[in-house]
């Protein structure tokens, strides 16, 4: 489910996520961003507007020395996680790292598996919560 709203209220974000939303985007987003969001969520990916991710993570931030739980991420996986935290899509990460989208999907899947989470949003929250990424 993708939620489009005019409200940037954190409570709406929390409620939408609790109700099972995989995406939360502001209506003022560019039309191509909304189209991309629909496609991402339809493929099973997650999407939040970057400010919501930062606030959500900051609200649950518990530093643990910058260490993530579970097996260590490779340098590339850590880099991909950092770009996920910026709110970038797989295609945008691929463009930034000059890699194929399928390669990025593999790295994202590996990050999710190593962290034991079901989606990108949860991975980013853990990254902020542990201090791996700073708000």
**Tens digit of pLDDT for each residue in 6-19?**
766 666 766 776 66
Query: Is residue 30 packed enough to be buried (19+ CB in 10 Å), middle (13-18) or exposed (0-12)?
Result: exposed
- pLDDT of 29 higher than 70: yes
Angle between helices 120-129 and 50-59 (to 10 degrees): 50
What's the confidence (pLDDT) of residue 85? 87
Domain 2-129 fold: Arc Repressor Mutant, subunit A (1.10.10)
CA pair distance 57, 33, nearest whole angstrom: 22
Q: Please state the rounded mean pLDDT for residues 117-133.
A: 83
Select the more confidently predicted residue: 63 or 123. Answer: 123
As to burial, measured by CB atoms within 10 angstroms (0-12 exposed, 13-18 middle, 19+ buried), residue 96 is middle
Predicted TM-score (pTM) of the model is: 0.57
């Amino acid at each position: 489910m993708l939620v489009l709203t005019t409200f940037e209220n954190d409570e709406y974000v929390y409620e939408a996520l609790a109700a099972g939303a995989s995406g939360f985007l502001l209506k003022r987003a560019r039309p191509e961003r909304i189209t991309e969001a629909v496609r991402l969520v339809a493929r099973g990916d997650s999407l939040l507007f970057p400010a919501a991710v930062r606030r959500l993570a900051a609200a649950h931030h518990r530093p643990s020395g910058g260490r993530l739980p579970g097996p260590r991420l490779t340098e590339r996986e850590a880099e991909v996680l950092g770009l996920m935290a910026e709110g970038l899509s797989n295609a945008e990460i691929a463009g930034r790292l000059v890699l194929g989208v399928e390669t990025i999907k593999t790295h994202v899947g590996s990050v999710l598996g190593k962290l034991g989470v079901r989606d990108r949003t949860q991975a980013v929250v853990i990254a902020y919560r542990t201090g791996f990424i700073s708000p």
